Amino acid sequence: MSALSERPAHPAVGVSLPHESAALHVTGAALYTDDLVHRTKDVLHAHPVQVPYAHARVTALKTEPALDVPGVVRVLTAGDVPGVNDAGVKHDEPLFPDEVMFFGHAVCWVLGETFEAARLGAAAVVVEVEPLPSLVSLSDAIAAESFQGATPQIVRGDVEAGMAGAAHVFSGTFEFAGQEHFYLETHCSLAHVDEAGQIFVQSSTQHPSETQEIVAHVLGRASHEVTVQCLRMGGGFGGKEMQPHGLAAIAALGATLTGRPVRLRLTRTQDLTMTGKRHGFHADWRVGFDADGRLRALDATLTSDGGWSLDLSEPVLARALCHTDNAYWLPDVRLTGRVARTHKTSQTAFRGFGGPQGMLVIEDILGRCAPLLGIDPVELRRRNFYTEGQATPYGQPVRHAQRLHQLWDQVLDTGSVAERRREIAEFNAGHPYTKRGLALTPVKFGISFNFTAFNQAGALVHVYKDGSVLINHGGTEMGQGLHTKMVQVAATALGIPVEKVRLAPTRTDKVPNTSATAASSGADLNGGAVKDACDQILARLTQVAATMLGVNAHDVRISGGIAQGIGAAAGVAWDDLVRTAYFQRVQLFAAGYYRTEGLHWDSSVMHGTPFKYFSYGVAAAEVEVDGFTGAYRTRRVDIVHDVGDSLSPLIDIGQIEGGFVQGAGWLTLEDLRWDESDTAARGRLTTQAASTYKLPSFSEMPEVFNVALMTDATEDGVVYGSKAVGEPPLMLALCVREALREAAAAFGPGNVTVELASPATPEAVFWAIEQARAGAADSHTTAGDVTPPQPGTGAHPLRPESEQVGQAVSRV
């Protein structure tokens, strides 16, 4: 085992500790960015001037009326930008646009003495526009061939030969929705300028270094003149990876021009209407199975709804393509990706970063095809699992593939799945108006950034003369428990109690060039860097301890805050050791660094080893559906998840539970809707509040919720043998959607296939039930030639039965 993964005796990692800020959270004492406003003097407030058109050209911008509003100090426009008028890394997101690209696009910002003054000033600004044609729906964009960015493709084998040799070939289309982040804390920045002209920005951001970079280039400054700090975030989920940069730049610009601190906090409605969401997708697919139900070939085109600019759409699409296989071996495969340009908010990162969308496509295919093949969905999935020695379509070997089988068997066993499925069959036979369903789905999720350069991290560790320890690392805390894990990593590496370790807020002037806290890699990267810094300090201290104890330095061990020689009874207390080291002029601080080894990725051909390892998980869900309304409840969920050797079990279990519920929300409840009419409201987000956008609540939680961590799962080459936990659990919720499909199908004849929209709202489930009751007339198997579905045509057109061969005609 590598030194990075090996754990010492009595480690602080692996112990269930509460979140390091839990008491502050529940008492309201935890400070967030906007709380700092009340501690700051003479703050100005920023408010956007939003234009209510999906697409329009600005022909005139009259700001003078705003200046007549009492309390308005200034209006920020493009003419005020001393650097680059752009908020994106792709240089396709003007900070002050002259072309409105989505309904509610901000074209300028008003600064006022109070938020209300800024709001009234924004309302007074006159914006004259020339309306332009708009594309709001993804299907309209596909039909208009409105695309942006690259068109990646993953190819292995010969798809056409695989289809020709398949015993059964099915085809279909599937369009599914995105998801709003709906973090508790909306976007917020607070900027001020010091006496030397240095800009300091407090920002609710997952990527402080990139926020620093964007602020600097908007202001025409060098990065060392800008410092960004993130105290903590009230949730992020990927929505604060790219989206905060422009907002921070607005606040910094205002502070620079007025010499006063500027606060920019979006209201909930502004946050919903101005910031990006999870990408919705459209998929056209053909799939071939052999006579035993094993996958032979898959040909799929995935088109994401990128919104008005690229943002992170290209890497999101790449990860979606890399996860379309999920846990299944695909001998012949061709996966093509496209990013559509629509007149909506610029869609962005969201927990899973495209992985959930790719997995949803293959799980939907298997769920629709299982009845047509006459194979139990549980068996169909297991039959197609990866085995040792196989590789993904992009060429990465699937290590530890046996864990999929182990996890699957454990859920079947501990969840009493066979017994419960018999009980469900009996229940369904005796209840014509209520049906139950139970489904299992697996997860195989790659861990690392798609962009190899981001897989690095730094940390700064200080040991003070009294023995206390302060850590600063490049990761940000958004409630996920990263800081808690880093305290445990440092305490383990130094051999001291966790009470001696404190963590400082993330700042760009302490650890530079940090990567976003994203891709589930926060603990892997920053944990490696923290351990590296601690190891440097420990090496120096063991030399001091060896002299004090009269032993060889290699024989010194520090545990529980005591330095001892191997086999020796006497020891030196940590505080005394540190004090002695100080007086011997031994360096008691260190900068740590970590880079993920073994990665290689050629994005031009979509081939290589982009991930350090795969995280695995299996979940089973049982649901009950009402046949009159489509309403349902989740009766029970059983999860077993692979987190390696957990750094902090309580934190990890919480992440699994929260990720699962968020995934269930995406798949069953959260229904984003935009106005697609030809009225003046075209392009308006209609679900722009909690009253119209349904979020998971306690009532949607499973009545029985069992979560277990896989045992004997050490991951070599990762800090203390752990694995990532942030994103993979979200995809475990796919089992809820598949259970709803099985329950809906139970209203029809045996082996009926039903199509289920996503999100599978009660309305969608009701129509799936009606389809099942009708005997699924639109989905059947016959004989003849297969014509691939054409992109942008919606459902595959029905053709005479004599012309169809083993083809599932699918309409969503």
Return left, alpha or beta for 666; rule: phi > 0 is left, psi -120 to 50 is alpha, else beta. Answer: alpha
Residue 806: helix, strand or coil by DSSP? coil
Instruction: Decide if 486 contacts 530 (C-beta within 8 A).
Output: yes
- Is 727 noted as a catalytic residue in this protein? yes
How many C-beta neighbours within 10 Å does residue 522 have? 29
Q: Are strands 44-51 and 72-76 parallel, antiparallel or unpaired?
A: unpaired
Q: Are strands 469-473 and 188-193 parallel, antiparallel or unpaired?
A: unpaired
- DSSP per-residue string spanning 643-673: -BS-S-HHHHHHHHHHHHHHHHHHHHT----
User: Exposed, middle or buried by CB within 10 Å (0-12, 13-18, 19+), for 416?
Assistant: middle
Instruction: Decide if 285 contacts 171 (C-beta within 8 A).
Output: yes
Phi–psi pair at 662, nearest 5 degrees: -65, -40
Helix/strand/coil percent split, the chain, to 5: 30, 25, 45
Query: Measuring CA to CA, which residue among 258, 272, 187, 189 is closest to residue 229?
Result: 189
Query: Measuring CA to CA, which residue among 395, 224, 242 is closest to residue 307?
Result: 242
- Cβ neighbors of 305 (< 8 A, separation 6 or more) are 138, 141, 178, 279, 280, 281, 282, 340, 342, 344, 347
| Amino acid letter, 760 | A
Q: Tokens for 662?
A: 């968020």
Q: What is the dihedral of CA 55, 57, 63, 66, to 10 degrees?
A: -20
Task: Tell me the β-bridge partners of 170.
Answer: 287
Rounded distance, CA 577 to CA 547, Å? 11
**Which of 180, 727, 738, 755 is labelled catalytic?**
727
Instruction: Decide if 132 contacts 55 (C-beta within 8 A).
Output: yes
Rounded distance, CA 254 to CA 73, Å? 10
- Which residue is it, tokens 């001091």? 544
- Which residue is it, tokens 């201290």? 541
Q: Which long-range contacts (CB under 8 A, 24 or more apart) does 19-22 make?
A: 19/479, 19/481, 19/484, 19/651, 20/481, 20/483, 20/484, 20/487, 20/503, 21/232, 21/477, 21/483
Rounded distance, CA 330 to CA 334, Å? 10
Phi–psi pair at 540, nearest 5 degrees: -70, -40
Task: Tell me the β-bridge partners of 450.
Answer: none
Rounded distance, CA 557 to CA 239, Å? 44
Half-sphere exposure of 308 (CA within 13 A, CB side): 24
667-687 burial: b if 16+ Cβ within 10 Å, else e: bbbbbbebbbeeeeebbbbeb
- Give the catalytic positions in this structure: 727
